[in-house]
Amino acid sequence: MKNLDDEIDNLKNKIKNIKLDDDFKEDLSNKIETEYRKDNISKKKKTFYFPKQIVAAVFCVIILTSCVFADEIGNFVNNLFPNTTLDVEQLLANGNLQAINMDYIKQDGVAIKVDYVLQEENSLYIVFNILADEEINNVYLEKIKVINQDNKVIFDNIDYITDMSKLFYKIDNIDNKNIILTAKLDNLEKNEENKKINIYIEKIKLKYNNSLRNIEKQWKFNIEI
């Protein structure tokens, strides 16, 4: 008669023996290569169209008649475009791109504010401006929740209910203490209903040259879209 631990051990070993076919693995490996190369090719194509996007961005300065300067827009476009297929002209024309005017919220030596919010049909982009007291190399959003005016969850990994694969972000260092983090939240439903969003960041991880630091504090932002 076996006990539970023996049965679990036995099950574990059986599961270890389950393998994917070699053919499947080879196909998969080729597919990864192809996808990765495709990405690089499309990046090059985007670079080719970049001047047009800069023109659109500069045009936006006039349209918005706000305090958004050309170099900031340039940075923003730079930030987004290497990795996305957004049609900036269209977004600007539709008013989907929002420059947010707010003060930094500071917790434990790290100040964060939202610079821009951009809404597409199925994605929401949030551009965070992060300012640290010390030199940092990178920032990771460990716990973030975004809800709309009806308390509908747009993204939530605080309560572990949203697919982490729907969060992508890109980091750009302005200087050693200042990082621009563009978060992209994918697969939104009925995005047009988001008139106001509340963003809660409850945990971030800072990467220094040789160490990491977790900060568990709340940065809360209320943004009208």
Partner 1 sequence: MSIKIDSKNLVTKYSDMIYHIALSYLKNKDDAEDIVQEVFMNYINFIKTNNDFESENHEKFWIIRVTINLCNNELKSKRKRNKVILNNEIFKTFDFNENEICLIDCIDKLKDNYKIVFELFYIKELKISEISAILNISESNVKTRLKRARDKLKKILQSGGERKSEEFR
Total number of residues binding partner 1 (CB under 8 A)?
Answer: 47
- The amino acid occupying position 147 is I
- Binning the chain into helix, strand and coil, the percentages to the nearest 5 are 35, 35, 30
36 binds partner 1 (CB under 8 A): yes
Count Cβ atoms below 10 Å from residue 48 Cβ, excluding itself: 9
28 binds partner 1 (CB under 8 A): yes
41 binds partner 1 (CB under 8 A): no
Give me 37's structure tokens.
């190369």
Which of these ranges, 14-22, 87-95, 104-112, 148-156, lies near partner 1 under the rule CB under 8 A?
14-22
Residues 122-151 that bind partner 1 (CB under 8 A): 138, 140, 142-143
Distances (CA, A) of 144 to 17, 88, 139, 153, 212: 38, 26, 13, 11, 19
Q: What are phi and psi of 175, to 5 degrees?
A: -145, -170
Residues 175-194 that bind partner 1 (CB under 8 A): 184
Residues in touch with partner 1 (CB under 8 A)? 1-4, 7-8, 10-12, 14-15, 17-20, 24-25, 28-33, 35-36, 39-40, 43, 83, 138, 140, 142-143, 157-158, 160, 162-165, 168-171, 184, 207, 212
